[in-house]
């Protein structure tokens, strides 16, 4: 006894549709996370710089400021998680764009790496 063909087709379609909904986070997603978690720009200079940098598409400066912002006293666990997630989203998006040949993204990644090695 075999399952009905339409039930099998529906199961395959549902599995395929569910796996296709995932998308990689973008730099814009990271910037949006920051604006949501810190609507007033944040309580520290580093957070304000990170928010402003991402709003102006200076993602290297944003990631570098996010690294500094993690040391800000008084941040909640949720805010710290947002800082980390935003930095990861921005960096991953820059890496994808650099791999696709975007010279500006590659230069921004190099700036981030230089800041980490100092």
Asked which of 27-31, 76-80, 108-112, 113-117 is least confident by mean pLDDT, the reply is: 27-31
Q: How far is CA 45 from the centre of its chain?
A: 21
pLDDT in tens, 66-104: 998 888 888 889 889 999 998 999 999 899 999 999 999
Within 1-118, residue ranges assigned H as helices are 5-19, 27-37, 45-55, 59-69, 77-99, 103-116
Q: How far is CA 9 from the centre of its chain?
A: 36
How far apart (Å, rounded) are the C-alpha atoms in residues 82 and 54? 14
């Amino acid at each position: 006894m075999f399952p009905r063909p339409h039930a099998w087709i529906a199961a395959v379609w549902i599995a395929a549709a569910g796996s296709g909904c995932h998308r990689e986070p973008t730099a814009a997603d990271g910037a949006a996370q920051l604006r949501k978690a810190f609507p007033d720009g944040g309580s520290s200079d580093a957070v304000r710089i990170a928010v402003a940098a991402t709003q102006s598409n200076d993602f290297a400066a944003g990631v570098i400021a996010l690294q500094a912002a993690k040391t800000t006293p008084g941040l909640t666990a949720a805010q710290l998680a947002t800082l980390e997630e935003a930095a990861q989203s921005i960096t991953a998006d820059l890496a994808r764009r650099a791999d696709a040949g975007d010279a500006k993204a590659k230069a921004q990644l190099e700036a981030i790496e230089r800041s980490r090695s100092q």
